[in-house]
Structure 1
């Protein structure tokens, strides 16, 4: 008589053991309802506690191995594990951060000098629609100084902690702000989407302002090459700011090349390259529709431009240094299907000048508010529109339309940003209904939606692969990594209410 093994049965005919749960090897049928326990199919915010669902997943893997069969579908354990945690994030609100980060937000790595010596830390650069530029230190270095503001965290979601530990993931210290003459419209760091990991410190950050009735938008850089002296004062930040260029137009958005030598800006007149070393401005695309979103591709040779009329156009930005707008090639681009359906002859086409590829143009129903190129899949990009649509496109087959769509987003007129985690498994955005939503990029499944803010989460800054330094038992350690290899999945969100941090692993 064969020995009994827990979780297995012995087949005398085949003279071997088989697992009791899960699909029988060689069978084409999928597991029945009495097989491996599926993950709950309830709505994203009405899920089982994370620990309970994780236990079910671990049990299933132990019995069936990897890959798993869950809900009649084949999947990997790691993907399911992350998806469970993403569907139940922990969210903290930081006090005394209102109106600080509703314009732009970016995370960076910093070197700072304290009385104890030089150390590395992580910082947040936040821009407000009131023209403020705020520098925040993420960690405990700033907590030792009386100068500045300590932003205390408050756990805001889930309201019932379900007996789970909710340790504060980060501490935030805010220095005095620097004031610009108009809204901060964009903050970008060079090389954040590159696959190559380089230990060299980033030299500068790109900052743009929107412009006002009296003056146009402006382009600035913030010097990050030298260590900052702490406590950080307004005068120190002003000394590090460099005025690159001023334009007689509105600057809606911008992106920075990988090496940080040039930027591309989206304006109400089109798109232009800006040499960040000498301030030379070269127009690469001119038109009558505002460029509200744009993004360099991985090579830095092309840029995606999202227009107010719903068009997404590919622009070649090579060999354009010093080229005047009058020498750009003129194109007649078909208007979006929604415009053509209105029957107005003057809207059948719109004019664009530049080195563009008309055949690589696609459309969304309304104004484009965000574009995100995927670094791990360099031909793919995400786009969102002001009708609530969010789509994933393959640039090689852009005329065929989106390859994936993401349902549930609410937007009609607001320029909300999309964010992705470093692994590019999850997509994050805030909606006009003040909800934060999180989707699985590959499947398009909505994993989480809930409201913890009374204003729209406008900007997102997903945690990059840099580690958060923290002090444990008097020794320097790094938050954000498990066993020194795996990132901590989380994102900063900026709204008029203030800063929020959502962590799901």
Structure 2
């Protein structure tokens, strides 16, 4: 039911609020009416300014939209209702911590939809695939679907906000998660990466890599998610797993495109392409500095490689590369030309081999820990280094935090810090979010807030993993 607003009534047919007193639509306004309208506009502007300065409820922001429309005027200029709405949501999240999930999702994680078999028949389920530094791989069913498989239940504890009624007007949280009997597996070494990939669908299969150990290198695995999963089997996850390739080096990271059978692997000696069907590998970049992070562009032709020495390389993977590293093109990239000093006074450059673009190489002050391209503007990408620096290339940069265990959320458009709080006593090392319809689209279409919540289906919620456990942050 629509919420009652003082001085307004709700019209079901027109799906909006109207003032209880006012001129007849289409009639001329008197001078006194005009003065009242100006006064009302001034009051609304003051209310808008109040919204921007202080924490407000969503109902207040919706009331402002009914008075002013989608464009809200303030002393700083005009602002968009959708943007203000999303900023408000970002600053008032719900934080959940799941019991008994220590060291389950502290190295890799991704969220997917799969088909599963239940006693009632085949159904679609939302699942969370997690990996840990101790080598355990787990699959959790999100919501009530997991009850049918008699798995282990993990119950969330509300951390923020302390009073539940503060969130009465917002969307639902995922609730309990379930781990079916056959949905856990111990890998040969630490799990370093989990990424979704597929030839026709982004949810066909998962790419999983292991770090490697003192006695053996890392490996590349494929988790087949094409067929419906039957968790009645005690070895369901193991039966779905296939080893694709093995390396004689450490695998730190990986990435794959949704419409390709290839994956790119980041190791301690460079980057390699892996054919996920045949297992054939070819080196596209060799470096003495470890490749700690990677990001393929939407075309799958270019990969960004973030190195331990702070360099971000642009590697072209379109041309066929030779398997012998000596045949790769050698490049000497000077530190000085990139505004950075070498690790020692005698070290003025570093060497890499591959089909790279030396002029596009950039540097950050320390090791690159994350590279992410923006979905709306894929010509830009965010890069973060281990000293806490975040840069958006080529637009701006902002410096915050690092290993202080704080969770921060920024507006990419304005650079404003929207939310900051310490929710874990250990570093939040993994993150994933659901890929679904955006709330912005439904709001721009003029849908009611209630319809927006039903259509987005928890789309603005994010999973975080740390050695301390599994967390869920909800902004919906």
Do the two structures share a fold, i.e. TM-score over 0.5?
Answer: yes
- C-alpha deviation, 1:104, in angstroms: 0.2
- 2:78 is the alignment partner of 1:74: yes
Where 1:216 maps in the other structure, the secondary structure is: coil
Deviations 1:162-185 (A, max 9, x none): 544385433310135211121100
Q: Tell me the equivalent position of 1:367.
A: 367
Q: Tell me the equivalent position of 1:123.
A: 127
Where 2:95 maps in the other structure, the secondary structure is: strand
Deviations 1:411-456 (A, max 9, x none): 2xxxxxxxxxxxxxxxxxxxx2222111111111111111222221
Distance 1:387 1:437, change over 3 A: same
- C-alpha deviation, 1:243, in angstroms: 0.6
Tell me, in whole angstroms, the C-alpha distance in 2 between the residues paired with 1:349 and 1:218. 32
Q: Tell me the equivalent position of 2:175.
A: 170
- 2:282 is the alignment partner of 1:275: no
Tell me, in whole angstroms, the C-alpha distance in 2 between the residues paired with 1:18 and 1:407. 45
Where 1:86 maps in the other structure, the secondary structure is: helix
- C-alpha deviation, 1:407, in angstroms: 3.9
- 2:472 is the alignment partner of 1:465: no
Unaligned runs of 5+ in 2: 1-20, 439-449
- 2:356 is the alignment partner of 1:349: no
- C-alpha deviation, 1:32, in angstroms: 11
Does the aligned pair in 2 maintain the 1:220–1:242 contact within 8 Å? yes
- 2:225 is the alignment partner of 1:224: yes
Q: CA RMSD in A?
A: 3.0
Tell me, in whole angstroms, the C-alpha distance in 1 between the residues paired with 2:342 and 2:137. 44
Distance 1:134 1:13, change over 3 A: closer
Q: Tell me the equivalent position of 1:202.
A: 203
Where 1:228 maps in the other structure, the secondary structure is: coil
Q: Tell me the equivalent position of 1:180.
A: 187
- C-alpha deviation, 1:13, in angstroms: 11
- 2:391 is the alignment partner of 1:391: yes
Among 387, 392, 406, the residue aligned to 2:398: 406
Distance 1:229 1:269, change over 3 A: same
Does the aligned pair in 1 maintain the 2:317–2:355 contact within 8 Å? yes
Q: Tell me the equivalent position of 1:38.
A: 50
Does the aligned pair in 1 maintain the 2:45–2:74 contact within 8 Å? no
Tell me, in whole angstroms, the C-alpha distance in 2 between the residues paired with 1:256 and 1:480. 35
How many residues of Structure 1 are paired with residues of Structure 2 in the alignment? 437
Q: How does 1:105-504 map to 2 (within 5 A)?
A: 105-146=109-150, 148-161=151-164, 163-165=166-168, 168-175=173-180, 176-190=183-197, 200=201, 202-231=203-232, 233=234, 235-320=235-320, 323-335=323-335, 339-340=340-341, 344-346=345-347, 348-394=348-394, 403-408=395-400, 410-411=401-402, 432-465=403-436, 482-484=453-455, 488-504=459-475
- Would you identify which runs of 4 or more consecutive aligned residues in structure 1 move more than 6 Å? 13-17
- C-alpha deviation, 1:300, in angstroms: 0.6
Tell me, in whole angstroms, the C-alpha distance in 1 between the residues paired with 2:374 and 2:459. 19
Does the aligned pair in 1 maintain the 2:321–2:328 contact within 8 Å? no
Does the aligned pair in 2 maintain the 1:270–1:290 contact within 8 Å? yes
Which structure carries more helix by proportion?
2
- 2:57 is the alignment partner of 1:53: yes
Unaligned runs of 5+ in 1: 24-30, 42-46, 193-197, 395-402, 412-431, 468-478
Tell me, in whole angstroms, the C-alpha distance in 2 between the residues paired with 1:15 and 1:40. 27
Q: Tell me the equivalent position of 2:16.
A: none
Deviations 1:254-303 (A, max 9, x none): 00122240110111101110111111111001111111111100111000
Does the aligned pair in 2 maintain the 1:94–1:151 contact within 8 Å? yes
Does the aligned pair in 2 maintain the 1:407–1:446 contact within 8 Å? no
Tell me, in whole angstroms, the C-alpha distance in 2 between the residues paired with 1:260 and 1:204. 12
Where 2:83 maps in the other structure, the secondary structure is: helix
TM-score of the pair, normalised by structure 2: 0.84
Does the aligned pair in 1 maintain the 2:112–2:434 contact within 8 Å? no
TM-score of the pair, normalised by structure 1: 0.80
- C-alpha deviation, 1:387, in angstroms: 1.3
- C-alpha deviation, 1:329, in angstroms: 0.4
Does the aligned pair in 1 maintain the 2:335–2:342 contact within 8 Å? no
Tell me, in whole angstroms, the C-alpha distance in 2 between the residues paired with 1:110 and 1:182. 26
Does the aligned pair in 2 maintain the 1:372–1:381 contact within 8 Å? yes
